[in-house]
Structure 1
């Protein structure tokens, strides 16, 4: 009799609901941990790094986006000149973050699938945001152009003129722009504002704004920089805020995924119908 009671309790709807809630909480926590983020990003890093070498050949550097080139330039200046130094450092940072943060090293396979689905979802949210801002600008009689959050990502020469190299370059933009502006600059700005005696909330808000403005301005500097247009500047600033919010709420992996998918949608899928961005 007691066994029957136990079996009934084990199969009760209340227990099933508790298990589902526990799985949902576990997924939410895993997606924000550095190690699952690294597992999620590893295929993108391998695809991008080896794809650049394969498609670019002697012109491989021309396929790299501005953020990638800037960070590699800094590493080159300090003597780290190996072509795989940057991805190894990114992987090392995430591993150290997971180790010294005392995070769990477990990661379920369905967690990675969920991160991919969220990346696509948030990418489409940003596409819709861009459409809304475009409608508002046109309603005010102001000029608009099609825009990707990661411009200059398509390289600086004819080597990136075809679809495959362009797509590869946008994947690189999603990775290394997020490495630079969210993984590195956002915490640096936060610590800087905290050092200036700003509160936790104030430092967070100021760090998000500062890193987002830097993200937008970066698209207008250098040889491949664009001319500043109010529409693109505003949208890229808002995109920076969007990605920074994702970084805090959903973790680094989903942020990179959303950025890469967004750039692929706007820079590849929609570029043919709307012209260059």
Structure 2
């Protein structure tokens, strides 16, 4: 019969082995948990944050300010009290006027209000990562390039400027177009079409989204002929395709990136027009 002390030691070793094994298992579990948290943080990182309404608002606030200040100084004839505005801006102002809401700065306030209401409805945290906002500028520039490439292929990217237009006013209008046209045809347009086609008519989501993108793209293209420009099939097809592209970007990346990429395309196109083409 072995000594009692050896038995106690073996029992102690067994207990220690159990404790060590449990500790190893806990460490492995903790490591797996941290790995899962890391993966979740990556999946909910930049691409999720940049599509949130609050982030989109802070990304677009400088553009809204530039558009308003630029319109006042560069796109307004103060002697005749005439200001040059994006058509979508005027349509939004007129629509709000139907309900008795008037004011020079009502459309930009509407943009802010819509995004804040959307943020509250989503119950997102009131936290902003400024690095995300900075990267959104780069992404917007990159996402504006495919539309430019499409225009080059169709030979319609150098659309003529307005006769006698000031370069500064063209820059201002390009920024305004990115914000207010995307607000009208993507953010608001997609919402209304989604309610009608998917919620009321019970279309399958895939077919519904295809219909939403198609309808909004055609309306977006036709909208450009509300001004002095005459209808042209080539520009109509190009703008319809551009509208479809921005529609897909909106579905995948949200309002802020879509508005930014639209403004980026207009600014790059204007720069090429100004220097006589690529």
Give the alignment's TM-score, normalised by structure 1: 0.80
Distance 1:219 1:213 in 2: 10
Structure 2 residue 203 is the aligned partner of structure 1 residue 201: no
Q: The residue matched to 1:79 in structure 2 has which SS? A: coil
Work out which of the two has the higher radius of gyration on C-alpha atoms and give 1 or 2: 2
1:92 counterpart residue number: 113
Distance 1:104 1:113 in 2: 19
1:171 counterpart residue number: 175
Q: The residue matched to 1:270 in structure 2 has which SS? A: helix
Over residues 104-129 of structure 1, what are the superposed CA-to-partner deviations in whole Å (9 max), with x where a residue is unaligned?
22121110011111000001122112
Structure 2 residue 144 is the aligned partner of structure 1 residue 123: yes
1:270 counterpart residue number: 273
Tell me how large the CA RMSD over aligned residues is. 2.8
Distance 2:82 2:197 in 1: 35
Structure 2 residue 183 is the aligned partner of structure 1 residue 162: no
Contact 1:62–1:157 (CA under 8 A) maintained in structure 2: no
Distance 2:41 2:122 in 1: 22
Structure 1: stretches of 5+ with no match in the other structure: 135-143
Q: CA deviation at 1:192?
A: 1.1
Distance 1:201 1:191 in 2: 14
Output aligned runs, 1:227-238, within 5 Å: 227-238=230-241
Q: Which piece of structure 1 moves more, 187-196 or 236-245?
A: 187-196
What stretches of structure 1 move > 4 A for 4+ residues in a row? Answer: 15-21
Distance 1:116 1:174 in 2: 13
Contact 2:50–2:132 (CA under 8 A) maintained in structure 1: yes
Q: The residue matched to 1:273 in structure 2 has which SS? A: coil
Distance 2:95 2:192 in 1: 17
Q: The residue matched to 1:80 in structure 2 has which SS? A: coil
Q: The residue matched to 1:198 in structure 2 has which SS? A: coil
Q: The residue matched to 1:64 in structure 2 has which SS? A: coil
1:221 counterpart residue number: 226
Structure 2: stretches of 5+ with no match in the other structure: 1-19
